[in-house]
Structure 1
Amino acid sequence: MRRDQLNEVEWQKVLRHAEVLRRLPQRPTAGDVADAMAELAVSRATLFRWLKRFRTEERAAALIHRKSGRRGGIDAFEPALKAIVDRNVTTFYAMPERPTLTRLRKHIVADCRAEQLPPPSIRRLKGYLATLDVEAMTRRREGKARADAQFLALPGEFSAQRPLQVVQIDHTKVDVTVVDPIERQPIGRPILSIAIDVCTRMVLGFYLSLEAPSVTSVALCLTHAIIDKARWLEDRGIALEWPTSGLPERIHVDNGAEFHARAFKRGCDDHNIIVSYRPPGTPRFGGHIERLIGTMMGAVHLLPGTHFSNVLERGDYDPEARAVMTMRELEAWLALEIIAYHSDLHRGIGRPPVAAWNEAISDYPRRQVLDPLAFLIDFLPFEARVLRRTGIHLNNICYWSDGFAPWIGRCEDKVLVKYDPRDLHRVFVKLGDNYLMVPTRNPGRPAITLWEQKAAIRVQRARGRHEIDEETIFQTIAAQRALVDQAIRETTQTRRWRARRAHLQERPAISPSVPMDEPVIALPHFPVEVWE
């Protein structure tokens, strides 16, 4: 029993006992011992046991009555039985599959019968397990993350002193199914990339995608974070303010492959942005972004088509049947939710994030980006290619621009070619100090994604074609698109395929190879002003 569990009468009794023991000399005489025994009404053995505890611990609480029975940590089994129990605990119970106590006892009973030993009762076995290291057992059965969450002390704090000093970025799969904008059929759960300012807790920007996290999704999230969002909000019919913009000083991220990509590192270096990585396996170092994601996903659970946090919460709710929101509608909804989050009281800083931002940003000048498209280009994936007389060859596609003419035969080194995986209709080639936007050599061909290009090459190689040319790629993609568009009953996979290229807005153009009296071919348009 602990001191705080005693009532006042019991505690005063303990203090009186302590006072009697305190008066005893270091070497009490027989008379001293007899007087103390009479005053405390205890036997000689109890008196000396109390005296030993009191002088060892030098505190009155040492005299609090202790529960009788075996003390924790004392082995409850004979050596032979203990060996059997320990062996089964180590090789069976302390496993990630987390066997139950009943299953553990069945294994022990089987071994005890083989050794002709009496097996322990389940109550005695449970008591023995309680004497083992709980943290070590939790780590082996439930993993490091669970053990850290339960036992790891977190005395420190990760903080920033000014806005944009530290920005955290992370990804999560959104707990809601979205639908395609044409037939409103479910196409799956999108991936959210989101950035937060550690100092003010303002959400700086985000990006939704149907693709797995990549350097491109990071670039688009960063581009949204650094721009002024007035035009972006107006384009989505939102008449509210989102005042964040500017280049961060430091980006704090986990160890995902997209954050170790060459394009990401070089883009940050070019704009004087420091990249800091969390220690592997330590999500607590990204606590600000993790809590933000938890808050956003909690709000998403109110939307039709939600998947909730787990199967038990979902019950018999069918997210696919209830889904109603398109990617663009979900994007606008998230923007409104973020703006509301900015205006609400944040317990971590004791005030609304927007108030903290407006007050702090006036004291610190921001580094602004004048050309968001140029900033995005700096973070796009890139390859070094030879500038040939026929143009640039990348991903089995040839690109040409009349701007190459002054450089043909004069480029001794390879040139840097940047590309947007969402649209291979054009690339950005660095010539001198500037980037030249270069379309495909055949302007009559439609825009395609890198995902479609790789799929087309896989199809051709599966057919035994080792040499893949540009014409074959576009013919294969055209055939695949025709199958998708003509499917009588579309599956989720094909709807996702169409949604992947939905951002390639169509624009009218006439192919040089098509007579004027033929139908006009619609070519996708590169979305240059999405982030303005």
Structure 2
Amino acid sequence: MAIDRNEVGDQEWESALARAEVLRRLPNRPSPGEIADATAELDVSRSTLFRWLKAFREDQRVAVLVGRKPGRQRRGIDAFEPALKALVDEAIRTFYATPERPTLTRLWKHVCSACRHNHLTPPSIRRLKGYIATFDAEAMTRRREGKARADAQFLALPGEFSVKHPLQVVQIDHTKVDVTVVDPIERQPIGRPILTIAVDVCTRMVLGFYLSLEAPSVTSVALCLTHAIIDKTRWLADRGISLEWPASGLPECIHVDNGAEFHSRAFKLGCDDHNFVVSYRPPGAPRFGGHIERLIGTMMGAVHLLPGTHFSNVLDRGDYDSEGRAVMTMRELEAWLALEIIAYHSDLHRGIGRPPIAAWNEAIAAHPPRHVRDPLAFLIDFLPFEPRVLRRTGIHLNNICYWSDGFARWIGRCDDKVLVKYDPRDLHQVFVKLGGNYLMAPTRNPGRPAITLWEQKAALRVQRARGRREIDEETIFQTIAAQRALLDQATRETTQTRRLRARRAHLQPRPALPASAPADEPVIALPHFPVEVWE
């Protein structure tokens, strides 16, 4: 194999040129005298001369005449005899190339132990390292560190995901925010929220977002999309923000991953109804959502400056008390993110070479976006739904009865089940599709408090654990009221105990915390603080 010119020094290359000049002068069948003159001029043996002459005439390149360094030219594979090679290959396959990622030293000790058992001379760790270097690096990384790591290191990305006009492609994704939030009453930590965010690929404008303490769901997607399509002037004013966020309009294509919420019936039907094309990323390939992934990284980098941050990893966090230093409520974090997004719009974006807001204003002048007439109807289209029978007593859903005077003209005239949409954050009302339109129906008892689907399911679990098979509406609301009262009492008592302990801290040492909570200690869930629906 010829050596590349860039791999050799100038002196070695000059020597190769001199050898080529001598070899060019030799005829096809050199005489003994010509051979003797050439070997004397090059100061090599007869066999070396003929080896050079054969290689030069076959390859016609000077690089084949570059002198090679002494020693083995192929590392590793020629270093082992067949029995030792088979043993090392087996050790690499079953021990080294595994997700546990043992070190080279561990592999060497494993090979040495196997060699002693098979009466073979073990290789040195240096020779073993050289042999591993002959394996395909990408395949080895894939087996040891996984597909994502191998793709990030070895996968070529020559293409580019580009679009021609705004709202042609909108990417949506979720992430857990790297900051702990507190409740608005006691200012105690309640966990890390989930951020659902949408970005326009063409202009890099953030179209909308939604914060929630619940896991990603079709409801969070619906609220994020609703925020994306509406004019945000009133929404910003309600949060005391006087700056502009002009992004709004209906997208043509929604680009998402393969989360369950994006494959739900409600999401697909809503997209079909509003003429949205849904494009899914290939499974396990986050690079196909690079625009939203980079945006999330930018937003989380800014969040790390807030009190209560969790940083990017445990090492960066150190002994920082994220829960103890948390100060922001959900609504305050929501306003802070809005300001951060507005600042992001005005900053230079390296991907497009200009601020996103400038690109947006120019693009929508040439290609005005579509707008929705009724944002509430748009939100309803994406809410989860269940088919139900319209009874003379109303609609029964989640063991709760709903009634509207508008049902009267449909009683006894609906042969099929009707479509009932509901908001899991508030079961105080549902939306029933009758005659092509949605009719809002509150609970039959107007004195019922607003509850979440999570609270309703928790109440059912409590009652069924007590042996009650038949659960009525009254039992559900009584259980939820009792749980809320217990939670309020526990919260007050916890606050008083904390204050009393702080007052007595100088009188006695603090008691040691137990290693674990008693097994029979009741677990009380924190209440849900829903973010209001945008108008």
TM-score over 0.5 (shorter chain): yes
Which of 49, 52, 61 is the matching residue for 1:50? Answer: 52
Which of 386, 410, 421 is the matching residue for 2:413? Answer: 410
Q: Given residue 51 of structure 1, which amino acid in structure 2 is its aligned partner?
A: L
Matches within 5 A, 1:204-243: 204-243=207-246
1:40-72 CA-to-partner distances (Å, cap 9, x unmatched) read 333333333333443444333333333332213
CA shift for structure 1 position 166:
0.6
1:489 corresponds in structure 2 to 494
CA shift for structure 1 position 107:
1.9
Query: Could you tell me how far apart the structure 2 residues matched to 1:477 and 1:234 are?
Result: 35
Contact 1:251 1:276 in 2 (8 A): yes
Query: Could you tell me how far apart the structure 1 residues matched to 2:28 and 2:395 are?
Result: 96
1:512 corresponds in structure 2 to none
2:43 corresponds in structure 1 to 41
| 2:200 pairs with 1:197 | yes
Change (3 A) 1:67 1:196: farther
Query: Could you tell me how far apart the structure 2 residues matched to 1:446 and 1:423 are?
Result: 10
Query: Could you tell me how far apart the structure 2 residues matched to 1:359 and 1:262 are?
Result: 36
Matches within 5 A, 1:358-377: 358-377=361-380
| 2:529 pairs with 1:501 | yes
Name the SS of the counterpart of 2:324 in structure 1.
Answer: helix
1:515 corresponds in structure 2 to none
Q: Which moved more, 1:361-370 or 1:68-77?
A: 68-77
Contact 2:231 2:246 in 1 (8 A): yes
Contact 1:3 1:64 in 2 (8 A): no
CA RMSD after TM alignment: 2.0
Change (3 A) 1:39 1:325: farther
Contact 2:15 2:66 in 1 (8 A): no
1:252 corresponds in structure 2 to 255
Query: Could you tell me how far apart the structure 1 residues matched to 2:92 and 2:440 are?
Result: 65
Query: Could you tell me how far apart the structure 1 residues matched to 2:16 and 2:443 are?
Result: 91
| 2:442 pairs with 1:442 | no
CA shift for structure 1 position 128:
1.1
Contact 1:188 1:496 in 2 (8 A): no
Change (3 A) 1:233 1:59: farther
Query: Could you tell me how far apart the structure 2 residues matched to 1:451 and 1:28 are?
Result: 94
Query: Could you tell me how far apart the structure 2 residues matched to 1:27 and 1:459 are?
Result: 101
Q: Which moved more, 1:120-129 or 1:395-404?
A: 120-129
Contact 1:185 1:495 in 2 (8 A): no
Any gaps of 5 or more consecutive residues in structure 2? 499-521
Q: Given residue 5 of structure 2, which amino acid in structure 1 is its aligned partner?
A: R
Which of 317, 323, 329 is the matching residue for 2:332? Answer: 329
| 2:500 pairs with 1:472 | no
Query: Could you tell me how far apart the structure 2 residues matched to 1:217 and 1:247 are?
Result: 17
Q: Which moved more, 1:219-228 or 1:309-318?
A: 309-318
Contact 2:390 2:414 in 1 (8 A): yes
Contact 1:305 1:323 in 2 (8 A): yes
1:289 corresponds in structure 2 to 292
Contact 2:425 2:530 in 1 (8 A): no
1:122-168 CA-to-partner distances (Å, cap 9, x unmatched) read 11211111111211111111000001111111111111111100111
2:129 corresponds in structure 1 to 126
Which of 299, 304, 325 is the matching residue for 2:302? Answer: 299
Any gaps of 5 or more consecutive residues in structure 1? 504-526
CA shift for structure 1 position 241:
1.2
The number of residues matched between the two structures is 505
CA shift for structure 1 position 371:
1.2
Contact 2:76 2:132 in 1 (8 A): no
Matches within 5 A, 1:63-142: 63-70=65-72, 71-72=74-75, 74-142=77-145
CA shift for structure 1 position 6:
4.2
1:159 corresponds in structure 2 to 162
2:147 corresponds in structure 1 to 144
Name the SS of the counterpart of 1:389 in structure 2.
Answer: coil
1:240-281 CA-to-partner distances (Å, cap 9, x unmatched) read 111111000000111000000000000000000000111111
1:475-532 CA-to-partner distances (Å, cap 9, x unmatched) read 11111111111102279x989722x1354xxxxxxxxxxxxxxxxxxxxxxx4xx423
Contact 2:16 2:65 in 1 (8 A): yes
Q: Which moved more, 1:465-474 or 1:17-26?
A: 17-26
Contact 1:169 1:194 in 2 (8 A): yes
Identity %: 81
Change (3 A) 1:31 1:166: farther
Q: Given residue 39 of structure 2, which amino acid in structure 1 is its aligned partner?
A: M
Change (3 A) 1:231 1:53: farther
TM-score for the superposition, normalised by structure 1: 0.91
Query: Could you tell me how far apart the structure 2 residues matched to 1:144 and 1:456 are?
Result: 43
Q: Given residue 188 of structure 1, which amino acid in structure 2 is its aligned partner?
A: G
Change (3 A) 1:133 1:304: same
Q: Which moved more, 1:345-354 or 1:423-432?
A: 345-354
Query: Could you tell me how far apart the structure 1 residues matched to 2:186 and 2:97 are?
Result: 51
1:427 corresponds in structure 2 to 430
Query: Could you tell me how far apart the structure 1 residues matched to 2:175 and 2:128 are?
Result: 42
CA shift for structure 1 position 15:
3.3
Q: Given residue 148 of structure 2, which amino acid in structure 1 is its aligned partner?
A: A
1:78-124 CA-to-partner distances (Å, cap 9, x unmatched) read 22222221111111111101111122122222221211212222112
TM-score for the superposition, normalised by structure 2: 0.90
Contact 1:187 1:495 in 2 (8 A): no
CA shift for structure 1 position 290:
0.9
Query: Could you tell me how far apart the structure 2 residues matched to 1:153 and 1:134 are?
Result: 15
Q: Given residue 236 of structure 2, which amino acid in structure 1 is its aligned partner?
A: L
| 2:48 pairs with 1:20 | no
Q: Given residue 489 of structure 1, which amino acid in structure 2 is its aligned partner?
A: T
Name the SS of the counterpart of 2:307 in structure 1.
Answer: coil
1:352 corresponds in structure 2 to 355
1:13-45 CA-to-partner distances (Å, cap 9, x unmatched) read 433333433444444443443343333333333
1:186 corresponds in structure 2 to 189
CA shift for structure 1 position 325:
1.3
Query: Could you tell me how far apart the structure 1 residues matched to 2:57 and 2:214 are?
Result: 69
Query: Could you tell me how far apart the structure 2 residues matched to 1:96 and 1:423 are?
Result: 45
CA shift for structure 1 position 294:
1.0
Q: Which moved more, 1:259-268 or 1:199-208?
A: 199-208
Change (3 A) 1:455 1:6: same
Contact 1:195 1:225 in 2 (8 A): yes
Query: Could you tell me how far apart the structure 2 residues matched to 1:207 and 1:338 are?
Result: 13
CA shift for structure 1 position 376:
0.4
1:431-465 CA-to-partner distances (Å, cap 9, x unmatched) read 11211111001110101000111111111112222
Query: Could you tell me how far apart the structure 2 residues matched to 1:51 and 1:283 are?
Result: 54
Contact 2:387 2:417 in 1 (8 A): yes
Q: Given residue 49 of structure 1, which amino acid in structure 2 is its aligned partner?
A: R
